[in-house]
Amino acid sequence: MQKASGGISEWLIPLAFVGTMAWVIWHLPAFMLDWIPYTSDSLRGQVEAIYLEADVTPNLGGIFGGHIDIIDMLALILSPILAVLGARGVRAAGIEYEGASVIDRAALFIGRVTMMMIATMTVIMLYEVFLRYVIEKPTEWANEMTLWFASFVFLMSGFYAMQQRSHIRIFLLYDAVPRWLQRVFDCISTLLVVLFAFFLVYGSYKQVFVNKLYKWELYGSAFNPPIPATLQPMVLIVIVLVAVQAILNLIADWNKEPEIHTDEPDAEEIEALKRAVGTE
């Protein structure tokens, strides 16, 4: 019997993960300054000045005399712990594909994380509307913060969509051929995804990790968040996860019976919808 999804832990753990990862990402220069050697003193001084201006807890002393304070270290330690707990505890909803691999469970957890980020974005926007039109004191950070969160949601949703087989596919030719040829099509599409991921990472690795992340490039607005420094590396990370998930999908679906894709829901989809709305 399938365990029910939607328990309180499935929402609290992803929300806590969003909080710890947000802290780690905002204070990422502290970890780079303490753990990564810089090629020049001027570049190190530039990154250090950016960090000192944005540090949320400037009065806390760094561990062992460095830039990383106790809250930074706790957030860094808690993030993977919450990710493991969240991936182990997540339950697929009635209309979701669960899968059997660790990557499948990670994708389901990422789906819950994106939901919490959307909820967080909504709260930020409502807060900005209240300040702007009621108190008439708008913030400098709400617009860029929402843009930043939305970008992460867009990227991580691609990984979740690949795991759920909900990405756009054209079945006109696929459904008309025998199963052995469908497998050939599946191999070709997976190979194309993997090749795209490989060449994207290979061609932009230096530009992204050296020129953007390493230099902690900022957005250039009044709030000035590190959107280029964080989103461009995230693009490469997500495309690698999508490629790995595409390979796992190919393996998992290899022995499946051929499907005919129509606009009409089949019996399995109807039963899944019934379970989702609690009618059985």
pLDDT at 119 over 60: yes
pLDDT tens-place string over residues 8-19: 888 999 999 999
Cβ neighbours, 10 Å, residue 164? 21
Q: Tell me which of 137 and 257 has the higher pLDDT.
A: 137
Cα–Cα distance between 18 and 48 in angstroms, integer?
Answer: 25
The DSSP symbol for 140 reads S
pLDDT tens-place string over residues 148-181: 999 999 999 999 999 988 877 778 888 888 999 9
Cα–Cα distance between 49 and 257 in angstroms, integer?
Answer: 59
Cα–Cα distance between 188 and 227 in angstroms, integer?
Answer: 35
- Find the mean pLDDT for residues 124-138: 94
Task: Quote the pLDDT of residue 39.
Answer: 85
Measure CA of the first residue to CA of the last residue in the chain; give whole Å. Answer: 13
Nearest in space to 226 (alpha carbons), one of 10, 44, 45, 47? 47
Residue 275 has, within 13 A of its CA and on its CB side, a CA count of 16
